[in-house]
Amino acid sequence: MLTRGRRRAPLSAIVGLVLAAGGGRRYGGPKALVRHEDGRLLVERAVATLRDGGCTRIWVVLGAESGRVRDEAQLAGVELLDNPIWKSGMGSSLRVGLAALAETDAQAVAVLLVDTPGIGPEAVARLLAAAPGGSGALLTATYKGRRGHPVILGRDHWPGVTTLATADVGARAYLIAHSAEVQGVPCEDIADDTDLDVPPET
Span 37-50, average pLDDT: 96
Residues near 109 by beta carbon (within 8 Å), at least 6 away in sequence: 14, 15, 16, 17, 97, 98, 101, 152, 153, 158
Q: What is the DSSP letter of 35?
A: B
Return the number of other C-beta atoms located less than 10 Å from residue 38's C-beta.
9
Q: Mean of the pLDDT values across residues 36-64?
A: 96
pLDDT of 11 above 70: no
| Averaged pLDDT for residues 103-126 | 96
Per residue in 65-105, pLDDT (tens digit) is 999 999 999 999 999 999 999 999 999 999 999 999 999 99
Distance CA 105, CA 121 (A): 23
